Amino acid sequence: MKEISCKLLVIGAGPGGYVCAIRAGQLGIDTVIVEAGRPGGTCLNVGCIPSKALIHAAEEFEKVSHMAGGKSPLGISLAPPSLDLAKTVAWKDAIISRLTSGVAGLLKKAKVKTVQGWATFRDGKTVAVETETGTQVIRAETVVIATGSAPVELPFLPFGGPVISSTEALALSAVPGKLAVVGGGYIGLELGIAFAKLGAEVTVVEALPRVLAQYDAELTRPVVKRLAELGIEVLTGAKAKGLASEGQAGKGQAGKGDALLVETSDGKNARVAADKILVTVGRKPLTEGFGLEQIDLDRAGKFIRIDDQCRTSMRGIFAIGDVTGEPMLAHRAMAQGEMVAEIVAGHKRSWDKRSIPAICFTDPELVTAGLSPEEAKALGGEIKIGLFPFAANGRAMTKLGEEGFVRVVARADNHLVLGIQAVGQGVSELSAAFGLALEMGARLEDIAGTIHAHPTQGEGFQEAALKALGHALHV
Ligand SMILES: Cc1cc2nc3c(=O)[nH]c(=O)nc-3n(C[C@H](O)[C@H](O)[C@H](O)COP(=O)(O)OP(=O)(O)OC[C@H]3O[C@@H](n4cnc5c(N)ncnc54)[C@H](O)[C@@H]3O)c2cc1C
């Protein structure tokens, strides 16, 4: 097969890689992208988008089930609904197909050449791609590694049979009767809540003393309360130990009467009956299996070490996205990808972002941007905090969404906003306003002085800033 030579080669077409390639193409750079699976990577195929589709379907199902139970204060009553999960999954797959073919079309429009297959480094400027029709060698002046990440497997709970990762959880054809979720981080809780709403009996096993432990307790309290309302049992300070199957017990085999073995917080052994055990204990960067050892890049722990331009320790090789570290989020990968394309085109760019907002699409949703109160206090200066509860927000009341709040953290001396957090129904959409405020260097007066449309939950943001200034109007 004839060798390909190009200016820029991108390995991996997840959100980091495909955005990098599209932007490079727009800038007239001769670009090739290699992808072993489908365009869109983890995010479009088995991550952000399919999980949000499942969460939406679960919310709708729970809403109508609630109404059918005669418990709706809205005065709506219905016959009990039924669910065809296979149909839900087919709907979700159709969304993925639309998006992945959309990405393929955008790459084509930007004149990026796509090579389908697994890439392996031969040296710092050459990769060999195993395609359906043979080995394709590609030489490039500059290479971007955007290989992403994979779910972490527990050695005593290997994936297979009843033990599943988020990927399998998003493709189940029936709702498991009993679901054990190992790991109470955002992925475990998003999926655990969705399956509970779809009718599964869910138990979350978390080794730390709290779920969503990277967020402060005030912020996660409404989520913890809702977990209890949904009947989700949460075992904190508990360690998963392995799988116990009755009958054909064995590694990764589904057996009648499967159970998760757990050491509870008081040191006792317990069995959590489970038809499926979803392991969501984190993700690891994909740094193996593609000849990275040939080029011996510096590492930062398990990640590839990068500088503020996403350059690795080898000249001409950049790395972006999950393979480069936390936060492992699609929008960080995209922003890095865009920046690297512009650097390759000769633009003066470096990483100067003030915040990477993070969202847990739990119920209620949770958003953080910038510094938490604790992180802001650790800077040493005095800070001001303004918190506005949705219980005092008209729009939230009309949506039965009074649980939660918006919280603004600012410097006390000049009122520069350092961080913004919110928890509540639908607050994910407020993340745009939070990110913009931090990026523009807003002060409390800027937010308080901006007219926010009424009635919206966004008014909670304005009121939180007013509260920090000492003159909130509606609390
Ligand atoms: C269940 C779940 C829910 C999530 N929800 C969210 C969310 O709501 N918001 C959010 O921001 N993030 C979310 N994430 C995280 C998000 O998916 C990742 O941060 C994002 O996909 C990282 O993008 P990336 O480009 O670095 O890598 P990836 O998306 O992982 O893409 C890497 C691509 O590289 C390809 N590849 C790897 N090695 C090779 C090779 N040698 N040759 C050829 N191709 C190769 C892979 O096939 C893959 O397609 C979620 C993840 C999961 C699992």
Give the mean pLDDT of the chain: 96
Q: Which residue has the tokens 């650790």?
A: 378
> 265 and 119 in one domain?
no
* Contact predicate 74/66, CB 8 Å: no
Atom index in ligand 1 nearest the CA of residue 150 equals: 30
C-alpha distance from residue 247 to each of 241, 250, 257, 258, 421 (Å): 19, 9, 8, 9, 49
Residue 47 lies in a domain: yes
In this predicted structure, what is the pLDDT of residue 116?
98
| Ligand 1 geometric centre to CA of 258 (Å) | 31
pLDDT band at 166 (very low <50, low <70, confident <90, very high): very high
Domain count, the chain: 3
In a 3-state reduction of DSSP, which class is residue 259? Answer: strand
pLDDT value at 248 more than 70: no
> 190 and 268 in one domain?
yes
pLDDT value at 149 more than 50: yes
The Cβ of residue 98 has, within 10 Å, a number of other Cβ atoms equal to 11
In order, the DSSP letters of 355-389 are: ---EEE-SSSEEEEEE--HHHHHTTSS-EEEEEEE
37 lines ligand 1 (CB under 6 A): yes
145 lines ligand 1 (CB under 6 A): no
Whose Cα sits closest to atom 13 in ligand 1? 48
> 126 and 10 in one domain?
yes
> 449 and 334 in one domain?
no
119 lines ligand 1 (CB under 6 A): yes
Atom index in ligand 1 nearest the CA of residue 16 equals: 25
| Ligand 1 geometric centre to CA of 381 (Å) | 38
Adjacency order of strands within the sheet including 276-279: 163-164, 276-279, 178-182, 201-206, 233-236
What amino acid positions are annotated as catalytic residues? 454
> 447 and 301 in one domain?
no
> 292 and 146 in one domain?
yes
43 lines ligand 1 (CB under 6 A): yes
Cβ neighbours of residue 16 closer than 8 Å, sequence gap 6 or more: 41, 146, 148, 320, 321, 322, 333, 334, 336, 337
Instruction: Determine which helix (DSSP H) or strand (DSSP E) holds 273, and give its type and residue range.
Output: strand 269-273
418, HSE (Cβ side, Cα atoms, 13 Å) = 24
455 lines ligand 1 (CB under 6 A): no
Digit-coded pLDDT (tens) for 23-81: 999 999 999 999 999 999 999 999 999 999 999 999 999 999 999 988 889 999 999 99
Q: Which amino acid is at 232?
A: I
In this predicted structure, what is the pLDDT of residue 404?
98
pLDDT value at 246 more than 70: no
pLDDT value at 346 more than 90: yes
12 lines ligand 1 (CB under 6 A): yes
Taking the alpha carbons at both ends of the chain, their separation in whole angstroms is: 71
Digit-coded pLDDT (tens) for 378-399: 999 999 999 999 999 999 999 9
Angle formed by the axes of helices 15-26 and 85-109, nearest 10°: 30
> 308 and 172 in one domain?
no
Cβ neighbours of residue 258 closer than 8 Å, sequence gap 6 or more: 162, 243, 244, 245, 246, 273, 274, 275, 277
Spatial distance between the Cα atoms of 200 and 223, rounded to a whole number of angstroms: 18
Residue 294 lies in a domain: yes
Residue 474 lies in a domain: no
Digit-coded pLDDT (tens) for 85-111: 999 999 999 999 999 999 999 999 999
> 239 and 204 in one domain?
yes
Residue 372 lies in a domain: yes
> 273 and 228 in one domain?
yes
Residue 157 lies in a domain: no
Residue 60 lies in a domain: no
Region 428-442: what's the mean pLDDT?
98
Region 304-323: what's the mean pLDDT?
98
Digit-coded pLDDT (tens) for 262-289: 999 999 999 999 999 999 999 999 999 9
| Ligand 1 geometric centre to CA of 39 (Å) | 10
CATH of the domain at 396: 3.30.390.30
Whose Cα sits closest to atom 20 in ligand 1? 330
SS percent in the chain: helix, strand, coil, step 5: 35, 25, 40
The domain boundary, picked from 263, 281, 299, lies at 281
The domain boundary, picked from 321, 344, 367, lies at 344
pLDDT value at 402 more than 50: yes
pLDDT band at 1 (very low <50, low <70, confident <90, very high): confident
Q: Are strands 126-131 and 134-145 parallel, antiparallel or unpaired?
A: antiparallel
| Ligand 1 geometric centre to CA of 50 (Å) | 12
> 20 and 113 in one domain?
yes
259 lines ligand 1 (CB under 6 A): no
CATH of the domain at 104: 3.50.50.60
Whose Cα sits closest to atom 48 in ligand 1? 41
Residue 155 lies in a domain: no
| Ligand 1 geometric centre to CA of 34 (Å) | 14
Which residue segment(s) compose the domain that 120 sits in? 4-54+86-150+284-344
In this predicted structure, what is the pLDDT of residue 252?
44
pLDDT band at 313 (very low <50, low <70, confident <90, very high): very high
| Ligand 1 geometric centre to CA of 55 (Å) | 19
Digit-coded pLDDT (tens) for 105-148: 999 999 999 999 999 999 999 999 999 999 999 999 999 999 99
DSSP 305: P
> 218 and 205 in one domain?
yes
27 lines ligand 1 (CB under 6 A): no
- Best residue among 99, 147, 153, 365 to mutate for probing ligand 1, ranked by most atoms within 8 Å of CB: 147
Whose Cα sits closest to atom 34 in ligand 1? 12
Whose Cα sits closest to atom 19 in ligand 1? 329
Region 223-248: what's the mean pLDDT?
92
Q: Is the peptide bond before 39 cis (omega within 30 degrees of 0)?
A: no
pLDDT value at 465 more than 80: yes
| Ligand 1 geometric centre to CA of 366 (Å) | 21
In this predicted structure, what is the pLDDT of residue 256?
63
The domain boundary, picked from 344, 374, 389, lies at 344
Digit-coded pLDDT (tens) for 175-193: 999 999 999 999 999 999 9
* Contact predicate 49/41, CB 8 Å: no
pLDDT band at 251 (very low <50, low <70, confident <90, very high): very low
Spatial distance between the Cα atoms of 350 and 247, rounded to a whole number of angstroms: 58
Atom index in ligand 1 nearest the CA of residue 191 equals: 1
| Ligand 1 geometric centre to CA of 100 (Å) | 13
Atom index in ligand 1 nearest the CA of residue 328 equals: 19
> 146 and 9 in one domain?
yes
* Contact predicate 318/17, CB 8 Å: no
pLDDT band at 245 (very low <50, low <70, confident <90, very high): confident
Q: Are strands 276-279 and 163-164 parallel, antiparallel or unpaired?
A: parallel
Residue 387 lies in a domain: yes
16 lines ligand 1 (CB under 6 A): yes
